[in-house]
Every structure is written in C-alpha cells, then in structure tokens.
Structure 1
C-alpha cells in the first residue's frame, strides 16, 4: 500500500533552486532516510510534505486512510499547557483519548471524587479497545524518554526536553507514517539507543532526516539523497548507500569525460559548417548543445578543507586539582582531578542534567569552582564550540561576519590566505559569501559557528555537541581534521560514530558528582556495561536459586530425613520438558538474530518486511514465556 507519493516537486528561494521536479514514493513498511548537504533542502522538503511550506510546483499526496505524525527539528508548543496535556492533546487516536480519560477519572476517584458510572463506562471501553497494553506502553515511552514529571509547563522546557515531548506525542499517536526531522538532536546516548531499537522493530513506515550514521545503518532500509537539485534512491542501509553513491559519482565523472571528448569533435564540425544556422542539421546542433551542457555541467559538490595551523602547546596545558562544583543541594563535580597531556582526545558522556556543560564552563573560566583549582598553561588557547547556536547579526552578510574575527587565516604550513579563500575551503563558495546571515540554513549556521571557532587557531578544542545539524560530508571532513589535530580535544556528543572514531578515553559522569576516567571509546564503554549487567543478572539468579533451595528445605527434626525428601526431584516428564525448552530457546534466539538482520538489511517486498516485524514480536513474547518456565524447572534437583 502506498502511504506517500511525491511527483514533480520543485522549490526555490529567489535564484537558488533547492530541488527540481523530484518524484518518489513511500510504501507501507518502508523506513527511509533523507540525506544531503546543508542547504540542499532536506528540512524544506519535510515541511512541504507536512503542509507547513508551499512548493513552487508539484504534488504531495498522503494516503487519507492512515495516521501521520511529525516531529519538527526544533518543536514548539502552545504556552499554558503541561507536558501531559501537550502529549495527549490529540483526538485522532481513540485508544489514547480513552486512556487519558480513564487515568483522569481514576485520579479523581483517589481524591474522593469518584464517578462510579463514568469509571465503569471507561473501564468497559478500555476492554473493548484492548487499551490496557496501550496504557503500559504510555508509561514505558514516557519513562524511556525521561518524562517523569508531566505537570511541568511546556514553556519552561529546554530544547532537549521539548524534543522528548514531541517524540512522546508522535509515538503515542501510533502513526502508520512517522516523519522525523533530526530526531537524535538534543537526546542523550541512552535515549538514542532506545529510540533506535524502538523504530527498528516498530510496525510503521518512517521517513526521517538525520546525520547519525549508526542510527541510519540500524534503522533504515532505504535512503534518498538530495544532490545537485535532484533526488537519488538507494535500496539499502547507510553502508549500502556509501558504496552505491561512490559508484554513481565515478560513473558521472566518466560520462562527463566522454561528453568533453565528444564536445571537441562536434565543436570542430560546427566550426566547419556554414554560419547560416538553417544550412546545418538541426538535430545535430541540438545534440551538440546537450553535449556541451553535460560536458561543462557545474555541480554544487563542496570540497571542504580544514587544513589549519595551531599554536604550540607548552609543557603545562590544563590541570584540575580536587575540583568541586554544586548548585544548592545538587553536587555536579565532587573532587575531580586530572592533568591534560599533549594529544589528549577525551569524550564526555552521561545523562542530560548531570553537569557536562558545567564542567566545560569550569575549564574555560566562564564559571569558578566552589573548591579546588583549575590552572591553565600560558600557551593554552581554547577554542570553544557551544551547543547553543551563536547569535548572529541577521542583517550582515556572511563574509563581513567572519572578517570581524580575522582578515586573514593561517593555514597548515604557515601560509596565510584571505577570509574569502578560507570560506571557499569551508564550503561557502564566493557567490554565497555575500548572502545575508538570515538566509542561511540551520546546518550552514552551525558550520559558520564552527568556522569562527577554528579561525582563531586554538590548540585546545572543546566541542559541545558539534555534530548537531551538520551534514554527513562536513562530519567526515571534520573527523579527518580532528584525527590529525595536534592539540588537546574534548568532546561532548551524542553521535556514537563521531565519538568512537576520535576519542581515546572517556570522562563518564555517573551522577552525584562522580566522574570516572574510562580507558576506551563509547562502544567499549557500552560493552563493559553490558557485561557488568549480565554478571549482575547471573549473580541475582544464583542468589534466587539459593533462596528458593533454603525455603524448600524443611526444618531439622529429631528423626533423620532422607535426602530424597528434602528437595523435590524433577519427574521424567519435567526433564523432557526442560530439554525441549532449552532446545526451543536456542532456536528462537537464532531466529530472532536472523529477523533483526533481515529487517536492518531491508527489502523492496514490503509485505515480507511487515511479516518479519510481526514474527519478531511473536518470538520476543515466546522467549519471555519460555525463559520463565526454564528458570522454574532449573530449580528442581536432577536438572
């Protein structure tokens, strides 16, 4: 079944054409991502699909029989409403409305204002809609997204909290088609991993804009790329997209070289013919013009280059000695000490609100420690890229904004270049350099913010969520630059791929002011945490078995009790059941891994994709039931 159909869509802003006569569709069960360079028109296309922006021409058709939910890149809500009212302010989902009404009636009953007739009516309605599971799902989603206090007014929320509220509202609407614009921005790593797992197994169609490469690889089975005003389709995940895009670029370059060779031959023919146009073969003249256009076609491919020099670091860089910082009763940093060494590349991880940004402000001297000392070396020059977007003068043009910081830039090797040349290297061609700041896209503004940090040639870079809104090409270039960066590097990021590639060790903020120095990258940390949880679960199972054995052992009596009567042995039938369950558990676990791999790889057969998702849910439910029975049987003697 077709859910979304786009045909002949064109959009431009003045002389700048974002996309021209693009067409594509999205069917039931497909999970697609839209990628492209900053300013290519990704967010604009999303807004057009949702009716928030008008196209110049073309048509967007959404199946009228499906539910659609949309999460904006920077969501806003009506003031005067609580988180709870904002999430449940949708009448499109009947089950959602009934659960909301039932929860409200139950709360009133607890406060002595029970309406027994209404409660019974809602109870019956919950039964008929099978909404009890949905009630559980509501609690799970709100809990996983960290929305525990739902009475807070939405106007008091931070950007990250608003994104969580928008995600909760969209997921609980149980849409058939979900549209997401940069869903991982402002989320912590644990929440991103939960959302990744949820979307990869959910029975819905998905169309999203994201630069998170792990997220792309594990959730999508189709990728659309906006490039040079056209749309290209790749039936696969991010790894498949990279492979096929490279092949496409290589083929285009080959075709352009062939066109240039043919153009030279045809140009010679044109020059040898009489000047009067009517005496030449019209079809050949037309073909010549087409060849000329193809041979000298200018693409908008950006070639970013971040070859910059850095100021030399001395022997003393930055020292923290028993630093303490707290606000009221909340302790964020409790006696942390560390001495930075040349070439340190450190990542910072921890849940939102645990003190990561406060820590960066302490290092850079924006705030002072309550106790302890932060000592900076004389040659240390900070470059601090903040999570919040810098406020630019919207009326100024791009090049003038940069010239306020520097007129020339020193690049690798010690040579100096003009600001215009540096902007061109940074993906802002001469034509765009005279564009007013107000006309830059969100990603272009973030790239400008990064440029203004790097232009000062720092030797200690502090990057707080640097990947937000940057396109994949810019991220790849930035990663290559940071790989070779000779100074110190400190990164706070929810982009797991970015962290894994760049950092050598982590400062793990574990709460209550404790910061752990972990020797490894983010994937290493998650693996250690997984092993630790498995070990804790194993110990808990062993303790449970011991407790059950003690409970089942009768108290000592005067007459001796035979060993056979102290612990019940498994019957022959129970032994057979235990062996059968063990075998089925192995088979189901193998099937689950196969299903997850199939769903991640994707397929054009959407009926098959839906069947896989449904079977995965059945397998999970069966595993839960069998594991419980396996534990019961394993307690019996003789097994």
Structure 2
C-alpha cells in the first residue's frame, strides 16, 4: 500500500521493478548503473523518454538498444500520453522519436500464423470444478475457451487459483469434475515460479543449456541462433559462457524463459515471469513476446507487463469463477475496490487485500488555487515551453559545432561548457514547468 502525502509533507523512496507503480507514485527516477547514479524527472515513462533521447544523440549506443527503447516509448506514448509528466516540448520530442515506429505487434498476422500452427481447437475448460483436499472450491463450474493466438493476462488475489488454473491447462492437475480438452497439435510450455528445472543442466554453460533444446529459432520472422537469442535477452558474451549453477536468480529466470522459447511451443503459459528481472530485461522479454505466434497466458501482478503483451485480461476474484475483463486491469481494480467497500489500491497489493489489509487514507489535500493563480500558471507554462524549444535549438546547434570542431580541444571544451549550462537551465525549467502545470490543471 502507498500512502499519498500532501505536497511538501513527506517523502518516499522505493526500489522496485514494477514500472506501473513507478509511473503512479514517483516524481523522480534514479538509475543505478556502472557505479554511477543518473537522475530523471518523472516516473518510468519519463525515464524511458529521456533514455531514448540520450540514445538517439549518442553515436556510440548500439542500434539494437536504440530500437528497443524506441519501441517501448512508442507503446508508452500510444497507451497513455499523460504518463510522461513532461512539458509539451518534451511530448513533441517523444512523438518525433517514434514517428516511424510501427505498433509493437501485428495481431492479425500473429493470429493467422497461430491458426496455421494450432488449428481451431487449442485449450478448453468445460464445466470444470477444482476442489482442494480441505474442501475449499478454487474453480466452480468454469468454462473457458482459448483460441489460436489468444493473449490473456490473468489477475487475482493470492490463493484464488491462478497457478492451479495453469496446472489444469498443462495437465499437471486434473479437475474434480468437468474436463479439459486439448487440440491435437497443441504443444504447451510453462514457465513456473520455481527454477528447479535448471538443476539438470547446472553443469552446462548458458549457451549450451539453450542449444540442448534447439540451436536456432524464428522470432518475429527472423531466425536467431542460440547465442544471438542469449545476447538479445541480456547475457553478455562472458556471461553466456558461465555455468548455469553460477547464475544469479534473475539470470536463471531469463535462461528458463529462453529454453522454453527455443523449443517453439505453440501455447505458452507464464507464471509470474517478471520475478527477479530488471527493467531492461523485462523490455527485452516483451520485445521477444511481441513476435511470438501462439496462444499466450500470463499470470502476473505486473500491470505494465499484462497490458503490454496481452490483448485481454481475466480475473479470479475468489468466488470460483473466471471473469472476463473488457475494461482490462482497471476494471479488475474497480471490482476489488467495490468488494472492499470502495477502497482503492494498486495491483501488486492484492496479497495484502486478500489477507484483510486496507489501503492507507489519503493525506490532507492542499487548498485549490485561485482563478488568478491558474491564469498566471498557464502563462508560465507557455513561457517555459517557448524557452525549452529555444534551448533544444541551441543544443542542436552546439552539437553540430562540436562535430565540426572535433579536433580543436579548446573549442570543444568551451562548447561542452555551454551545453552543460543549457542542460542545467533545462532541468530548472522542467521542474518549474511541472509545478506550474500542476497549478494550471
């Protein structure tokens, strides 16, 4: 649970890979890497925008990294433009960066490919009831039909039966009554929460563990070797030669997913796939899943992931039913809030909600600004926008002059000092813009 403080009355520092949470509550983001800390204004969306801009300007940043940031930025801008929490000038910069970026995936093309691989029948739960040994009913007369190319996110409180639902789909569990029908061509792969399945390849190196499944795989219409796939999911050349037993928890999770993907299943079930993964790896995983042509079921508390890679969501609310959510995760939160008497909470807090936790009350709100203050704030926003546009022009000119005078050390040093002064002014203006925009409404 996150308590909202009145402006200026408190502070919150959080370490998390939950990107939706970062956007919802954070006004500044720190990235820790290579022994340094980079600071960004805003939440996760603003952080991605700033990194994409930096990647575009830095000639040494590899093309694959630029493309991945552009792709994620495109999804962020299409899905929720307001989340960047940036001046209009920065919003325009984001729009320019993604002008030629296509949607993350071609759903129609993927559905056609999935139908060719799977046929019309995939997985069907028909009148399924599942009762625990203690008599508790997790699923009660559930009928749920999965077609070729369906991409479902599954949400629900802990203990509602999400993992049991996956076990029924894989055949690891049998219903108390009813039946589970599987198409003749269905090949199911499941990413489970534990990583014990890697014990059998503990003595192999990362690349070898992937090659044992398959030496190459087609993703998004491109054939990738095992080593290319390993690199794409964040393993450096050195780490790719590391024995599996020496991997960290996040690396083992990545390897687990890679081994599933190279086996080329046509139905993929992911149970809390974001555990132990950093945001860069999550973006790479999402990029891989964008081009994966099959039926995808994801159980997760990570709202960002669910809305990024899935087309539809269903909920298990603890009443034994699988409820369709046309309104997505937002509808689920509203249903849960209604069940708790109107309380509002974030998706990762389901565990607390299911065990009787209640959200903290909002702090006292600041007094509303007067009409005169609103008019003055709007004028200030316009003034800052104009100055930020001018700074952008000046910075572009300075970068061009630095390129022209690259061999003149004194000239480059002087130009760099001008750039840093402009950057400092821009940071101050953006902070002022955010404050004025909050007043302007």
SS in 2 for 1:231: strand
Question: What is the rounded CA distance, in whole Å, between the counterparts of 2:275 and 2:66 in structure 1?
Answer: 19
Q: 1:524 to 1:397 in 2, by over 3 A?
A: same
| 8 A contact 2:233–2:284 mirrored in 1 | no
Question: What is the rounded CA distance, in whole Å, between the counterparts of 1:507 and 1:479 in structure 2?
Answer: 20
- Choose from 301, 319, 327 the match for 1:494: 301
Q: Corresponding residue for 2:127?
A: 322
Question: What is the rounded CA distance, in whole Å, between the counterparts of 1:448 and 1:480 in structure 2?
Answer: 16
| 8 A contact 1:362–1:369 mirrored in 2 | yes
Q: 1:321 to 1:202 in 2, by over 3 A?
A: farther
SS in 1 for 2:208: helix
Q: Corresponding residue for 1:214?
A: 20
Q: 1:534 to 1:476 in 2, by over 3 A?
A: same
SS in 2 for 1:448: helix
Q: Corresponding residue for 1:431?
A: 238
SS in 2 for 1:475: helix
SS in 1 for 2:54: helix
- Choose from 479, 485, 510 the match for 2:317: 510
SS in 2 for 1:427: coil
1:428 deviates by 2.0
Q: 1:244 to 1:504 in 2, by over 3 A?
A: closer
Q: 1:365 to 1:200 in 2, by over 3 A?
A: farther
Q: 1:424 to 1:378 in 2, by over 3 A?
A: same
The reply on whether 1:385 has 2:191 as its aligned counterpart is: yes
How many residue pairs were aligned?
309
SS in 1 for 2:236: coil
1:330 deviates by 0.5
Q: Corresponding residue for 2:51?
A: 245
Question: What is the rounded CA distance, in whole Å, between the counterparts of 1:334 and 1:483 in structure 2?
Answer: 33
1:217-276 per-position Cα deviation (integer Å, ceiling 9, x unaligned): 2332332213445332224332332232223223332xx5xxxxxxxxxxxxxxxxxxxx
Q: 1:422 to 1:504 in 2, by over 3 A?
A: closer
The reply on whether 1:343 has 2:149 as its aligned counterpart is: yes
Q: 1:446 to 1:590 in 2, by over 3 A?
A: farther
Q: Corresponding residue for 1:478?
A: 285
Q: 1:590 to 1:348 in 2, by over 3 A?
A: farther
SS in 1 for 2:289: helix
Q: 1:402 to 1:302 in 2, by over 3 A?
A: farther
Question: What is the rounded CA distance, in whole Å, between the counterparts of 2:205 and 2:130 in structure 1?
Answer: 41
| 8 A contact 2:154–2:298 mirrored in 1 | yes
Question: What is the rounded CA distance, in whole Å, between the counterparts of 1:389 and 1:522 in structure 2?
Answer: 28
Question: What is the rounded CA distance, in whole Å, between the counterparts of 1:392 and 1:201 in structure 2?
Answer: 48
| 8 A contact 1:221–1:235 mirrored in 2 | yes
Question: What is the rounded CA distance, in whole Å, between the counterparts of 1:519 and 1:375 in structure 2?
Answer: 25
1:343-382 matched pairs, under 5 angstroms: 343-382=149-188
Q: Corresponding residue for 1:396?
A: 204
| 8 A contact 2:155–2:300 mirrored in 1 | yes
Q: Corresponding residue for 1:125?
A: none
Question: What is the rounded CA distance, in whole Å, between the counterparts of 1:493 and 1:235 in structure 2?
Answer: 28
| 8 A contact 2:219–2:291 mirrored in 1 | no
| 8 A contact 1:409–1:455 mirrored in 2 | yes
Question: What is the rounded CA distance, in whole Å, between the counterparts of 1:463 and 1:235 in structure 2?
Answer: 33
1:44-64 per-position Cα deviation (integer Å, ceiling 9, x unaligned): xxxxxxxxxxxxxxxxxxxxx
1:443-491 per-position Cα deviation (integer Å, ceiling 9, x unaligned): 2221111111111112111111112222222322333443444321111
SS in 2 for 1:343: coil
SS in 2 for 1:506: strand
| 8 A contact 2:6–2:366 mirrored in 1 | no
SS in 2 for 1:404: helix
The reply on whether 1:522 has 2:329 as its aligned counterpart is: yes
> Highest CA radius of gyration, 1 or 2?
1
Q: Corresponding residue for 2:31?
A: 225
| 8 A contact 1:200–1:219 mirrored in 2 | no
- Higher mean displacement: 341-350 or 522-531: 522-531
| 8 A contact 1:200–1:218 mirrored in 2 | no
1:514 deviates by 2.6
Question: What is the rounded CA distance, in whole Å, between the counterparts of 2:8 and 2:126 in structure 1?
Answer: 48
Question: What is the rounded CA distance, in whole Å, between the counterparts of 1:512 and 1:361 in structure 2?
Answer: 19
Normalising by structure 2, we get a TM-score of 0.60
1:136-215 matched pairs, under 5 angstroms: 195-197=1-3, 205-215=11-21
SS in 2 for 1:411: strand
What are the ranges of 5 or more consecutive residues in structure 2 without an aligned counterpart? 72-103, 344-364, 370-426, 429-434, 436-441
Q: Corresponding residue for 1:87?
A: none
| 8 A contact 1:199–1:219 mirrored in 2 | no
1:433 deviates by 1.4
